[in-house]
Chains A and B, each alone.
Chain A
């Protein structure tokens, strides 16, 4: 028997279908754990090791008691006094006959015999019954530290009677709903765990600290994801170079389709990343794609070497200035830099005025210019707010969603207005400026910082 596990370890035990797997799922922050309304979903003890960076703990999801009364009868036959009870439970677990006759009890008691503490789960929405006493008695016989969790599955009508009964068998009794318990309640439960076994106190306190840090890191990473998403969605553009304006216009449906697909995939990708951040990897989102403005198509002329008018004028100005500077050097500065200045002006002006002619000019049969069909970027000033609203809605939903809760999230943009109203005046101003810059494709040097305030509680 190994009673000195270095890792804090808890066996979640109880009657079948009382939410043991749900509790494990929520505390382990793992939505891949199978939860079912059918009893007997868990047929083996499954160990979930949670590593929080500097510490960790282990939760063992066990099958429910199936033959507690007969198992207790067997134990009574094998222990004449209290001092023999722990040994009797150990004998029960290792006895091959018991392993055949009481497979569920053996599986659930094995981790306890090996040193795990006990988390006994009951349903607080149903009345207490004496049939539970055999289970509780067996657990008491193990001599391990124990805590009872009352899970109010449907309502909290019978919590008091359960408390009265459980208090006689367990050192600590807590009410914990794995579907609704918020982060602070989860931490409070972990803190309560630390009172069960003094050797695990430091580890579990570190776990709580790590989880708080983790929650803060999620906020930072969430704002970072949103910042990336906004920049991408607000600056994205699809384009295709063609020779004539009619060819450019004919491309509109194709480019629109490509553009819309990319924009929606990008948003879905960010949502997926956010779900991953919260470890809600199986979470199903019911979302309608955002509406994109219809007037995002444009066909602009392009010029020599793929440069647009502005770029061409810049290159010409630089070339003209360089040539003029060479003349300045030749005359040993007697031109007072007029060569460089004049060359730059002449280069810029000729490129700006003559650029249009390049679209129809050919060099050795190759066209020097043409047209570019463009879709995007979005200049609608409300668009960044739509993106922010949807992202923040999902963030809040995921933040309050426990891992045992397997319902879909129905997306909405609601809530942003209230968030904005809660901001300081300077924060609102910074956000509006950032959104304006986004919709005009200008850089925001502190976008993540500006967005971070929206994620604070």
Chain B
């Protein structure tokens, strides 16, 4: 299956959507009304509650095996091209697609936060933002502990901590003449900034890192074990099969009398008698060479210049030991196959092996018994 990282076509649109949402929402909120007044409680909702609860919701959905998140929602918008819809169809069926959509959603949220932060900074620099708060039910003393609790993660940053006096003086009313001291309204910026950094940025960043690591692991898991082979051959294997095109030597079925029998394969008397009957030769002298012969017998046989009938095991491949021996002699080579005391036909691959072999030996002919 194609890896999830190949499905990056969703990343760009989702990042753009997240960024644009962050940009417009933050701009419309932080630019405030005609007096530049911005309600802190609305900012808390957008920069703390929205990121925190959306993260909680998508995480719970992921853990429950559901796929409820922003990226999945974007992927089902019926405006995608057919190719992209096919791509999503494939993606959804990936075993780890839920993590992928969750990851994309975190990216969108991070992009949203980045845009929001950017807007806050631009407006802080370029305009006078007046942070106020209004409430019908709450007063400053009730609200303060809650804001203090929200600011716990950045306790080390004292200027970004909420202040009860500041909270009291920035309480606003839409009734004319009820405004607090204008000089304090901008002092909330560090609290808002820290809240954005922690709740919108840091938490998302952590979730992205965890998700990315998980996807990296699961994307690799099926390929964790590789079976690799290396051949340290110093020869060209293609050159090895050189015998395929070699011509096959002709076969003979009769031999002229006046030869010496060389029982290379140690054939028993019964089988020797059967061969004698088939070839119709009278009893002949015998040589001993090959694996069963003694060293002295082998020496004698190697010097033998008369015609021989050399009997070998037909199913065994011809060895160089035999070829060396045959270089100095002449006669007939009889590769034989048998089962018990019954002579059998030699299989074609074996016969051809011997025919190729004897083709290189000028003084020898290959004998095949008829109707064996």
Contacts and interface: CB of A to CB of B under 8 A. Distances in A.
Nearest to A38: B243
A244 to B, nearest CB: 21
Contacts of B97: 445
A41 B89 contact: no
B137 interface: no
B227 interface: yes
A310 interface: yes
A180 interface: no
B89 A37 contact: no
A231 B79 contact: no
Contact of B95 (A16, A225, A315, A449): A449
A310 B232 contact: no
Specify the main secondary structure of chain B where it touches its partner: loop
B318 A39 contact: yes
Contacts of B324: 67
Contacts of A228: 1-2, 90
Contacts of A41: 240-241
Tier of interface size on chain A:
35 or more
B64 interface: no
Given A46-B233, A67-B321, A130-B266, A214 B225 contact: yes
A67 B78 contact: no
Interface in B1-32: 1-2
Contact of B78 (A64, A134, A311, A441): A311
Contacts of B79: 307, 311, 314-315
Given A39-B318, A40-B243, A314-B78, A73 B233 contact: no
A59 B195 CA distance: 64
Contacts of A310: 78
B232 A217 contact: no
Nearest to B349: A37
Nearest to A313: B78
Nearest to B66: A445
Given A131-B291, A217-B222, A443-B93, A70 B233 contact: no
Of the candidates A34, A39, A70, A134, the one having the most CB atoms from chain B within 10 angstroms of its own CB is A39
B313 interface: yes
A448 B229 CA distance: 29
A131 B228 CA distance: 38
B230 interface: yes
Contact of A69 (B224, B229, B291, B356): B291
A47 interface: yes
Contacts of A260: none
Tier of interface size on chain B:
35 or more
Given A36-B241, A104-B320, A227 B231 contact: no
Given A40-B243, A65-B319, A51 B89 contact: no
A144 B119 CA distance: 78
Contact of A448 (B1, B290, B292): B1
A428 interface: no
Given A66-B321, A231-B93, A448-B93, A15 B316 contact: yes
Given A66-B320, A126-B315, A217-B223, A51 B228 contact: yes
Contacts of A239: 82
B229 A49 contact: yes
A64 to B, nearest CB: 8
A445 B92 contact: yes
B86 interface: yes
Given A66-B321, A311-B78, A34 B222 contact: no
Of the candidates A64, A130, A131, A447, the one having the most CB atoms from chain B within 10 angstroms of its own CB is A131
Interface in B53-102: 67, 78-79, 82, 86, 89-90, 92-95, 97-98
29 contacts: A16-B319, A17-B317, A34-B237, A38-B244, A41-B240, A46-B231, A46-B233, A46-B235, A47-B231, A47-B232, A48-B230, A50-B228, A52-B227, A53-B226, A64-B317, A66-B321, A67-B319, A69-B321, A129-B265, A131-B290, A131-B316, A210-B225, A213-B225, A217-B223, A231-B93, A310-B78, A311-B79, A441-B89, A445-B67
